Amino acid sequence: MTEYICMIILSVSFGGNCLDTHCQGYLCCSDLCDITKDNPTSPLNETFEPLNEKFEQCCMRASQKTWSGKEKELLIEYIGVLGKSIVVDPDKFNDSNVYKIEHIGGIMTAIPSNVCDWDRDTLLEVFLQQVHEFVKYWRYIVQIDFSFNKLRKVESLNCLQKLYQLDPSHNKITHFKNTTINQLAHLRHLDLSFNEIMSMDPACISQPTQNVFYANFGKNKLPVVDVTNAFSVNPFCHINYTSNLIDKFVNEFGFTLDANKTYGPGFVSFNFNNFRTFPDFQSLLGLSNLAELGQLVSFGFDFRGIQLDCDCYLEPFLSMVQELKAFLWRDYFNVACANPPSLQGVKVPNLDPYDLVCTLERDADCPQECTCIDRPSTNTLFVNCTNLKTLPEFLPNSTLSRSISLKLSNNDIQILSNKPYLYKVTFLDLSNNLLEQVNDDAIAVLENATLHISNNVRLTQLPQRVQHRNHCITYMEGLHLTYGCQELWIENWLKVKKCDTEKLFKCTIPDLGIKEAREFSC
Ligand SMILES: *[C@@H]1O[C@H](CO)[C@@H](O)[C@H](O)[C@H]1NC(C)=O
Ligand SMILES: *[C@@H]1O[C@H](CO)[C@@H](O)[C@H](O)[C@H]1NC(C)=O
Ligand SMILES: *[C@@H]1O[C@H](CO)[C@@H](O)[C@H](O)[C@H]1NC(C)=O
Ligand SMILES: *[C@@H]1O[C@H](CO)[C@@H](O)[C@H](O)[C@H]1NC(C)=O
Ligand SMILES: *[C@@H]1O[C@H](CO)[C@@H](O)[C@H](O)[C@H]1NC(C)=O
Ligand SMILES: *[C@@H]1O[C@H](CO)[C@@H](O)[C@H](O)[C@H]1NC(C)=O
Ligand SMILES: *[C@@H]1O[C@H](CO)[C@@H](O)[C@H](O)[C@H]1NC(C)=O
């Protein structure tokens, strides 16, 4: 089985604000992590894997700690049958130490009650002494491993100001709050994988006080992800959302990118989720165009293993590639379509933008009698209807295409009147209908549209405003006009310009019978 890589590296510049104010001696976070520095040639010349490796190595270096191996271990003591616990030190407190708490594969249901004093349970009165004693340890704890327990939630850990690594993976956490670790400027590694997280507050890892380098939310049950959890405002290494149920991004609190900042660099994995379309970052972040994203963010999204729908929503990305080729890694679009069947297996770089369409349904305002196909490469929504007696009241509002091509030939429509969508129509085919009436205001709105009204046997008159139309884009074959034919404007209108494939209407004139329009003169 081939795995395709879908990477977006929109720009690989790096601003260099490497958290200096937070380094404070024992975390070396210099030279994170300009992968272009060792690759002075265009990043297009390299494939993803070696560059990714370089980035990883440099990230590991950058997040190195100086105390490694010297941490002193604290112990967990259970204080109830329901999995409550406190942390204890078998020795005396020594402020030249750093401490870690490791309790793997236990039955803890909550963070120990004396960590940040979140627990207000009266039971604790028995342990008041230990609880009080432990406060002085808070600022010396650098590492916590509570993997393979039964934690259901995690309260604020913000008292652990020097915490560097937090691992509550393989627990039963269902929700992650943005007040749990938001003040922990030293926290570099967060592993929440293999929990049951179904929801996350916005801004869990991306507040300006935070410098999380590695965050793993893999193997959870997240259905959506807020953009503020998809990257950090500070440089980061890897955010992992592999194997969730994510099918869309949201932006709950209207986060916007600061045009004076660059974001990242870093990698974000969305492998094996339920995405079927590329996220629409333009509307999510309120950008005026997609290229703006490339100027502001410099990180990679990895969409390997998604079942990509090659539909109309992909089209703007293909267009962006044309504009931004220089900033994109070659592998970005090395992903194959899963749908529609006609494009299955086609790799994105080989797609013809013309083939990227969406069929809009009734819930998008496409009338039951119509098919509505949005084809952004032509900037047009194509609508084709049958069994109509009147013009459709509404048509879909496409966000991708500006124009509408409306094919209504061979229906039983009697009146061409103005409708709210008519100003977008650039092509209207009403031939072979039962038109009796063509309204002046509709003709006004359709001034520049191609108009077919041929073979409407009941149509005997047209509003004079027709004379402002270019008759080369007005198809009126097989009409028998009566009223109006004597009027001068028709003769003048036809004289202005001869069209190549001219097929005109006939006029029925009292006393003279039926005449071809061009033969007619007053
Ligand atoms: C604290 O630890 C330091 C370094 O490990 C050691 O030199 C010192 O003697 C310890 N102090 C006490 C009171 O145990
Ligand atoms: C944290 O989440 C809460 C609840 O969703 C939200 O109201 C708040 O704005 C978030 N904080 C930040 C800094 O975004
Ligand atoms: C992301 O997390 C999952 C689950 O822990 C893991 O299997 C996967 O290897 C991680 N991906 C990367 C690129 O580290
Ligand atoms: C960006 O910087 C320019 C010039 O320094 C400043 O005028 C502008 O207000 C800044 N914009 C934001 C959103 O901070
Ligand atoms: C319009 O729709 C009808 C019925 O679905 C179909 O037979 C016809 O080919 C379509 N015409 C165009 C131009 O798409
Ligand atoms: C489309 O736009 C029109 C006019 O702006 C509006 O009345 C209509 O509700 C919109 N339809 C949809 C499905 O958004
Ligand atoms: C038709 O095109 C002309 C010239 O571009 C423009 O001035 C006019 O407003 C257009 N009419 C309509 C109804 O859009």
Domain stops at, among 299, 325, 351? 351
Indicate if the pLDDT at residue 297 is higher than 60.
Answer: yes
Supply 444's token pair: 């006004």
Same-domain check for residues 261 and 372: no
- 473 CA to middle of ligand 5, Å? 22
Measured between alpha carbons, how far is residue 36 from residues 54, 265, 298, 325, 330 in Å? 10, 11, 12, 16, 15
Q: Which of 8-17, 197-206, 347-356, 472-481 has the highest mean pLDDT?
A: 197-206
Average pLDDT over the chain reads: 81
**Ligand 3 centroid distance, CA of 508 (Å):** 79
| For ligand 2, mutation pick of 204, 253, 255, 256 (most atoms within 8 Å of CB) | 253
**371: three-class secondary structure by DSSP:** strand
Report the pLDDT averaged over residues 207-222. 92
Among 331, 351, 371, give the residue marking a domain's end.
351
> Within a domain: residue 4?
no
Residue 453, in any domain of the structure: yes
Looking up residue 464, the CATH number of its domain turns out to be 3.80.10.10
- Residue ending a domain, choose from 298, 328, 351: 351
Q: Would you say residue 67 lies in a domain?
A: no
Domain enclosing residue 186, as ranges: 164-351
**Domain count along the chain:** 2
For the cut 50, the answer to whether the pLDDT of residue 42 exceeds it is no
**Domain-located, residue 114:** no
Region 414-435: mean pLDDT is 96
Q: Do 331 and 396 sit in the same domain of this protein?
A: no
Residue 146 domain flag = no
User: Among 244, 397, 451, 137, which Cα is nearest to 230's?
Assistant: 244
Higher model confidence: residue 489 or residue 411?
411
328 and 456 both lie in a single domain:
no
The answer on 323 and 233 residing in a single domain is: yes
Q: Are residues 313 and 192 in the same domain?
A: yes
Same domain, 220 and 364: no
Q: Is the CB of 448 under 6 A from ligand 7?
A: yes
| Nearest of 284, 296, 173 to residue 227 by alpha carbon | 284
Please tell me whether residues 249 and 363 are part of one structural domain: no
Are 463 and 482 contained in the same domain? yes
- pLDDT mean over 486-514: 69
Domain co-membership, 381 together with 327? no
Per-residue CA distances from 19 to 32, 63, 106 (Å): 10, 11, 36
For residue 178, which atom of ligand 2 is closest to its CA? 1
Q: Are residues 513 and 458 in the same domain?
A: yes
Question: How far away, in angstroms, is 171 Cα from ligand 3 center?
Answer: 16
**Does the pLDDT at position 138 exceed 70?**
yes
**Position 57 in a domain:** no
Tell me the mean pLDDT in the region 346-374. 90
In tens, the pLDDT along 142-161 reads 999 999 999 998 989 999 99
Q: Do both 306 and 375 map to the same domain?
A: no
Ligand nearest to the CA of 227: 2
Number of Cβ within 10 Å of residue 36's Cβ equals 17
